[in-house]
Amino acid sequence: AKQHGKNTYRFFCPDAALASLKQLELRDDLHRAIYQKQLRLVYQPQVDARSGRLAGCEALVRWKHPEKGWIPPNVFIPIAEQAGLIVPLGRWVMLEACRQITLWQSMGYEVPRVSVNVSFVQLLREDLHQVLLSCLAANQLGPDRISVEVTESCIMQGVDAIDQLKRIQKSGIRVALDDFGTGYSSLSALKGLPIDELKIDRSFISEIAEGDDARAIVAAIIAMAQRLGVEVVAEGVENEVELNYLRERGADIIQGYFFGRPVPGSEFTGWLADTASH
Name residues contacting ligand C2E, limited to 147-186 (CB under 6 A): 149, 178-179
**Segment contacting ligand C2E by CB under 6 A, of 15-23, 138-146, 218-226, 235-243:** 235-243
- Partner touching 262 among Ca ion, ligand C2E, none, CB below 5 to 8 Å by kind: ligand C2E
Rank residues 12 and 35 by Cβ distance to ligand C2E and give the closer one.
35
Q: Is 229 in the site for ligand C2E (CB under 6 A)?
A: no
Helices of type H across 70-149? 73-82, 86-106, 120-125, 128-138
Q: Is 115 in the site for ligand C2E (CB under 6 A)?
A: no
Handedness of CA 237, 240, 243, 249 (dihedral sign): negative
Q: Which helix (H) or strand (E) holds 17?
A: helix 14-35
**Burial tier of 258 (Cβ tally within 10 Å: 0-12, 13-18, 19+):** middle
Q: Is 178 in the site for Ca ion (CB under 5 A)?
A: yes
Residue 127 dihedral angles phi and psi, to the nearest 5°: -85, 85
How far is 129 from 123, CA to CA, in rounded Å? 9
Q: Is 48 in the site for Ca ion (CB under 5 A)?
A: no
Name residues contacting ligand C2E, limited to 43-62 (CB under 6 A): 44, 60-61
- DSSP-derived pairing of the beta strands 54-65 and 39-48: antiparallel
Q: Is 72 in the site for ligand C2E (CB under 6 A)?
A: yes
What is the contact surface with Ca ion in residues (CB under 5 A)? Answer: 117, 149, 178-179
What is the contact surface with ligand C2E in residues (CB under 6 A)? Answer: 44, 60-61, 72-74, 77, 93, 117-119, 149, 178-179, 235-238, 256-257, 262
